[in-house]
Chains A and B, each alone.
Chain A
Amino acid sequence: SYELTQPPSVSVSPGQTARITCSGNALQQYAYWYQQKPGQAPVLVIYKDSERPSGIPERFSGSSSGTTVTLTISGVQAEDEADYYCQSTDSSGTYVFGTGTKVTVL
């Protein structure tokens, strides 16, 4: 089966940089990243590995290398505390989500 693995948690001080990795067996398709705050629906923050939707702050960026994609939050702010999920599509073209990472701002 197709899996996308993320670290369960990342802790970062305000103003520092948070990096969240997502690794998958055959991450050959584009990856997407979502931010989800408690009680809210997910919000798309990165698509096509590194593209940022309008309205998403520039401190959010994405990159890809081999079978690992990374979401980077530069100059973390308190409001960035949330759960983050990567997403891609498997070999049959159906979606799969990563295991999720809780970002804590110290």
Chain B
Amino acid sequence: EVQLVESGGGLVQPGGSLRLSCAASGFTFSSYWMSWVRQAPGKGLEWVANIHQDGSDKYYVDSVKGRFTISRDNAKNSLYLQMNSLRAEDTAVYYCARPRVPYSSSAAFDSWGQGTLVTVSS
């Protein structure tokens, strides 16, 4: 069974930093692009970033470029999101998500974690 478990969320002041983790199991992690998706309270879904299966390619939504860094450790079956210079508008539940097809950067997400809440507030 595919499992994605996020952790690392919490309350942080504006301008602060936070590192999210996603522990993956039940599939060959090193064969999949992986993504982070967020959802602000009462708002819609927003794709944030994704990373190639070997970490060589990374893409970001414009609003987080230069502030967020996606990374992965295939030996630990883990995905990360380093978030710096956080703003109030970054407040959201952050999900990690896996495409339904290996080696694909554009397939639909068939597996999601339960999400971790990040709150940016003073």
Contacts and interface: CB of A to CB of B under 8 A. Distances in A.
B92 to A, nearest CB: 13
A93 interface: yes
B88 interface: no
A44 B110 contact: yes
B112 interface: yes
B89 interface: no
- Chain B contact-residue range equals 20 to 34
Contacts of A47: 100, 107-108, 110
B69 interface: no
Interface string B12-54: 0000000000000000000000010100000011110010000
A53 B112 CA distance: 15
Given A41-B95, A47-B107, A94-B59, A34 B115 contact: no
Given A32-B109, A87-B109, A94-B50, 10 more contacts: A34-B45, A36-B45, A41-B115, A42-B109, A93-B105, A95-B35, A95-B47, A95-B50, A97-B47, A98-B44
Interface of B: 35, 37, 44-47, 50, 59, 61, 95, 100, 105-110, 112-115
